[in-house]
Structure 1
Amino acid sequence: MEFVEPIRDRKKIESMKKILQGNDRDYLLFVLGINTAYRISDLLELKYKDVIDEKKKVLSHVKLKESKTDKNNKVAITKGVAKAITNFVEKNYKANLEDYLFIGKKNPNKPIRRETAWRIISTAAEEVGLKNIGTHTLRKTFAYHQYKAGTDIAILMDMLNHSSETITLKYIGITQDEKDRAVRALDL
């Protein structure tokens, strides 16, 4: 498996959103992915009941049991994600909360495959000039921007279910250059 990077440039994120806005499913997949700590395998298993109630009201949190760790994970739904869910539900919901969110054309009873998700993300990334991008980029992008926004590394470790700060820093791509800039900026 090839090593993928987070999307560090917010302008590139916005450009990818614009590209993906033409397809509600793909846009929601991207927006949910970059705003949660979920792996693609968990995102693809989401059902309507995980994001809306029986009155089609967006839930405050997504709650799921992660397939890799078997741990329960609860993530708040942001305003931007709620808007994307609302738009998606208005156009796609068929009154069954047990239906998967991210279905394909070939089999409407199953979620799209990981390879399809990869194609969606990598094609949009290529259009904006990004390399080393894949489905795991979504989770890494979330973590990277949480860290840059000042989220404590211990909280981020917990969100990602990592066992050490070193693993988390490496995971989000904090490079030696960034460490050097931080030290030089302090210059006491």
Structure 2
Amino acid sequence: GKDVMKIKMEKTDTTVEVYFNSVLQQEIAKYTSNRADSDWLFPSRQGDKPITRQMAHTFLHKAAEACGIDSEQWGTHSMRKTFGYHYYQRKKDVYYLMKLFGHATQGQTLQYIGVEADEIRKTMEDFTL
């Protein structure tokens, strides 16, 4: 199966590559097994292009509501930030996240995922003169 997805970043007009581990590749294979071959993981109804960012947002809101989750607190952007936060907490690899998110600096990435404020707070809690 495919092990990489290319995503065009709207703000910066750059393309980033997201690599899939073997577990995710298996899940994608299951998801796509009964579909016509497509270049898109989430094709539009016409099938010749991917769904829009707005349509992905709509799908996520409907899924959240179906699960009893407040859909106003959940969307593509919050999932992206949450992924970044947890990835950083586990791997401490801000360089990879910076590249994945299409950010210009590591500081921008840390600020985006909210780590900078957390680390400052923790540092100050442990600091005494």
TM-score > 0.5, shorter chain as reference: yes
Q: Could you say which residue in structure 2 is the equivalent of 1:7? A: none
Q: Which runs of 4+ in 1 moved over 6 A?
A: none
Contact 2:95–2:106 (8 Å) recurs in 1: yes
Query: Cα–Cα, structure 1 residues 130 and 150, in superposed 2: closer, same or farther, change >3 Å?
Result: farther
Does the C-alpha gap of structure 1 residues 66 and 114 become closer, same or farther in structure 2, counting only changes over 3 Å? closer
Q: CA deviation at 1:169?
A: 1.8
Deviates more, 1:108-117 or 1:81-90: 108-117
In the alignment of these two chains, the number of paired residues is 126
| Residue 108 of structure 2: aligned partner | 167
Counterpart position of 1:77: 20
> How far apart are residue 168 of structure 1 and its match?
1.1
Q: Which amino acid aligns with 1:147?
A: Y
2:79 pairs, out of 115, 122, 138, with 138
What residue number does 1:12 align with?
none
Query: Shift in Å at residue 157 of structure 1?
Result: 1.7
Shift of 1:87: 0.4
* Structure with more contact order per residue of length (Cα contacts < 8 Å, sep ≥ 6): 1
Amino acid at match of 2:19: A
- Alignment check: 8 A CA contact 1:125 1:131 kept: no
> Alignment RMSD, CA only?
3.1
Structure 2: unaligned runs, 5 residues or longer: none
Residues in 2 aligned to 1:160 and 1:73: alpha-carbon distance in whole angstroms: 8
Give the secondary structure class of the aligned counterpart of 1:103. Answer: coil
CA distance in 1, matches of 2:29, 2:127: 44
TM-score, L = length of structure 1 = 0.52
Q: For residue 91 of structure 1, give the secondary structure of its aligned residue in structure 2.
A: coil
* Structure 1 residue 85 displacement after superposition: 1.0
Match of 1:118 among 47, 53, 57: 57
Which structure shows the bigger proportion of residues in helix conformation? 2
Between the aligned residues of both structures, percent identity stands at: 28
Residues 172 and 130 (structure 1 numbering): CA distance in 2 closer, same or farther, change over 3 Å? farther
Distance change (3 Å), C-alpha of 1:76 and 1:184: same
Partner SS for 1:171: helix
